[in-house]
Structure formats: structure tokens, C-alpha cells
Amino acid sequence: MAYNILHNTQQEGCNLQLIKTNEEKINKMKFGTAFLQTKPVEKLLCIGISVGILIILVFFLAIGIVIYYSGRCHGTTLTDTQLRQMMVAINQESPDNSDRPKESTSESEVDTRFDSTTHDTTRDTSLTRTIGGPTYIRWGRTICRNDTELVYDGYSAGKKWNKYGSGANYLCLTKNPEWGDLQTRGTISELYGVEIDAPDVADSLEVPCSVCRLLFRFSLVMIPGRKTCPKDWTVEYWGYLMSESSLYKNRMSTEYVCVDNEWEHYGTTNNDNAVWYFTKGMCGSLPCPPYINGKLLTCVVCSR
């Protein structure tokens, strides 16, 4: 008797499971039949929505992958404004910059940047060493822009006006030279301080120079004939184009330099050794207009 009851119970359980399975199959068949009976427009709409959702998911996944690997390959990208804010905060906290003047420098002040007894070459507390850019010479000034680093300031120097040899380029000589042990009686090259010779503007003024390093920008260009820079470029300084004179037969060719419009001077010895003269644009093969015959040419140093 007990065996019969147990057997019947198992049989009923199997029947219930079979009924449940059959109901699930019937429901699936109903769903499939209902989908097949759906109008074509509704089918297309349903498929389109599904495909659209899938495309959106793939799109955002691709963006996430690109951002992730860009961050790993190139590091964090900072805007120009963020870099400026960071550097202002660093310069305010750095003892090296606490006493540095922003717009003027005393002529009697000695630059200790080249003093090997006091300069700590192991110190590297400034972030500018990792994000800084190239250097340029600011002819005629002893300071740099507030958002650039003054590497050193010194004296503008070049070859004597009547010497055939030596270099044709001009140099910014440091105020604190260091000497080696070599001496020679052989042939040499000579460097002289540079004067600006313009009797009605700057009569025999010895002009300084400064070497400046960009902190937030990485490209430099000097544009002759302009006072302003192209769009999205920054004016480092503007001035006048100068070189050796072209009016005397015994004058030797040199390079053109852009001398700051607000030039300083450290002496008026009138030795006429190395001399700068203003440069004029002359009509002919140079089109006029836009140029004006005999007009002094300006120049601008731009960065980006």
C-alpha cells in the first residue's frame, strides 16, 4: 500500500513537470507566432531600435578605450590656463623667485646664476623643468616676460665693423665669465660690445641682452616688418630690425637682429667697434605698397 502511494505521488510530480514544460513551449510558440504576425513596419522599427542601441553602446565603448589609451600614452593634458596657474603658484612658493624683480633689474646687481660657489645644481623644485620650451635672446633688455624664465642677462657682442673674419652672428655674453687655462699667440678671433648708432635716437649706446626660456609655449619665430603676431600666437617682444650698415664699402655683413623697442643701455663709450644700425625697406624688387621706401622696419618675436 505504501508502495502504491509513493508510486502515485511520483507519477503526479512527473505529470505536473510535463505540463509545465508544455506550457512554456506553448508560450514560446505564441510569442514567435505573435512576432511573425507583427506588421512589417513594426518589425523594422523594433529591429532599428535594437540596432541603434547596439551602435550607441559600441560608440561609447570605443570612446572609453581611446581616452584610456590616450591617457596612458601621453599623460594628462593641461590647458595653457592651467599651466599658467600652476606656474604662478610654484613661483610664489619658490625661494629662487621671491626676490626677482618682474619689470626692472638694477644695473649694479650681480647675477649669481653662474657663480659655481653658490649655485645648487642638484635643486629641481620647479615644474617648469619638465614643461618648459626653447630659449631666445631678447636684444636690448636685461629682463624677460613675467611668464618666461630669465636664464641670464649680459652684453650684446659681435665682430668689429671693419674685420673680414670672425663670426657674422651676434652673441649675448654673460656678465660673469669663467676662464680656462689655455693661452695662445696664434691667430685669434675678436668680440666687441655692440653699440646702437642713430644720432637722433640712440647715439652710441652699448646695449645689453637677456636669454629667456619659454615656460608654456614651444615654438618661436621672429617676423620682420610686424609689431603683432598671428592669431593664437603670443608677443614675446617687438622692436626694430637692426644690422651692420650697408652704406659703407668697408663694412662687413652680419645677421639681422630684432632689438627691443624699449632698449636699455649700460654705457656710451662711442668706440664704434661692433655697431647696429636701423634697417630700412627699399622699393624696387621689394613691392611698395605694402612697404614704404625708406621706412624703418619693425620686427616681433612670437611664440606658441
pLDDT band at 67; cut points 50, 70, 90: confident
Top-confidence residue, 101 or 222: 222
Question: Is the omega angle on the peptide bond into residue 199 within 30 degrees of 0, that is, cis?
Answer: no
Quote the pLDDT of residue 71: 57
Compare 164 and 237 and report the one with higher pLDDT: 237
- Location of C-alpha cell 620686427: 299
pLDDT number for residue 129: 53
Q: What pLDDT was estimated at residue 130?
A: 52
Mean pLDDT of the chain: 74
Task: Give 11's contacts (C-beta < 8 A, 6+ positions apart).
Answer: none
Query: Is the whole-model pTM more than 0.85?
Result: no
Residue 200, CA distances (Å) to 9, 197, 203, 233 in order: 123, 9, 7, 34
For residues 58-73, average pLDDT = 77
Q: What's the pLDDT score for residue 24?
A: 65
Per-residue pLDDT tens over the stretch 152-191: 999 999 877 766 767 788 999 999 999 988 888 877 788 8
Residue 291: pLDDT above 70?
yes
- Residue 254 and residue 244 in contact, taking contact as beta carbons nearer than 8 Å: yes
pLDDT, mean of residues 199-220? 84
**Better pLDDT: 36 or 301:** 301
Q: Contacts by 121-129 with C-beta closer than 8 Å and gap 24+? A: 125/90, 125/94, 126/90, 126/91, 126/94, 126/96, 127/86, 127/87, 127/90, 128/87, 128/90, 128/213, 128/215
Q: Which amino acid is at 304?
A: R
Give pLDDT, residue 198.
77
CA distances from 92 to 100, 120, 140, 206, 236 (A): 11, 19, 27, 34, 22
Which of 92-96, 204-208, 222-226, 252-256 has the least mean pLDDT? 92-96
Whether the predicted pLDDT of 237 surpasses 90: yes
What pLDDT shows up at residue 244? 80
Binned at pLDDT 50, 70 and 90, residue 76 comes out as very low
Q: What is the mean pLDDT of residues 130-147?
A: 87
- Burial class from Cβ neighbours inside 10 Å (0-12, 13-18, 19+) for residue 179 reads exposed
What are the grid coordinates assigned to 47, written together?
529591429
The pLDDT score that the predictor gives to residue 66 is: 80
Are 212 and 236 in contact by the 8 Å Cβ rule? The answer is yes
